[in-house]
Amino acid sequence: MKSYIEKKKATKVLRNKNFGGEIAVRLHETDIVIIRKNNIILDTGGYNTSLTLRRMNEVSKEFELGYRVYRKDSLVIVAYKGLDIPFVDRYLIILSR
């Protein structure tokens, strides 16, 4: 049965058993969230859109990852473990689990 996030348009959940159960959530052609045993990688792929941010938040909620992505003025912020981290487009944010 498909999860909530897998039912979303243009979104795929890829599970890789060869890498310790790594999960990648792909929006169109970009792996926007990669969930690993020790970290979480966020990547807009250069598409800093409201859809990308919304989908990242839906992934966090479904997999209980504990981060929230939001826009403040022209900046994108990742709130995680009490910190607000600026998300600079085309850079990855790596969060320790």
pLDDT digits (tens, 9 = 90+) for 20-51: 789 999 999 999 999 988 889 999 988 889 99
Question: Higher-confidence residue: 44 or 2?
Answer: 44
Say how many C-beta atoms besides its own lie within 10 A of residue 36's C-beta.
16
CB within 8 Å of 9: residues ≥ 6 apart:
none
91 pLDDT tier (thresholds 50, 70, 90): low
20 burial level (CB within 10 Å; 0-12, 13-18, 19+) = exposed
Q: What is the mean pLDDT of residues 5-30?
A: 84
Mean pLDDT, rounded, for 77-88:
92
The pLDDT tens digits of the residues spanning 62-73 come to 999 999 999 999
